[in-house]
Amino acid sequence: MNSELKNPDSIICPDGFLPLTLLLLSFILNLIWQLSAISSQRSGFQYTIQRQDELVSQSHKVQAGFQKLMNDLLDLAQTDEDAKAIAKKHGIARNANAR
């Protein structure tokens, strides 16, 4: 045991290349893993954005149909008492600055 402590070469690794190689390899593997995770997140975000665009388009169509229905109800309320009662009951009226 005393001979091991007196000889510092037996404690220190004689070749420093192996630890540096392992460190570099782990760094490269970590970088590859992070790049693949970023790539999958990006494709997920692109899919979500595409899906949201479809939903926004669909909601615009529904809103346009609803506005047409309300305008038709208000036009009908000018001549029909039942339509006028429905518009009054639900507080449906045209805005002064409507498009």
Q: Residues 28-83: pLDDT tens digits?
A: 999 999 999 999 999 999 999 999 999 999 999 999 999 999 999 999 999 999 99
Q: Quickly list DSSP for the chain.
A: -HHHHH-GGGTS-S-SHHHHHHHHHHHHHHHHHHHHHHHHHHHHHHHHHHHHHHHHHHHHHHHHHHHHHHHHHHHHHTT-HHHHHHHHHHT----TT--
Q: pTM of this prediction? A: 0.54
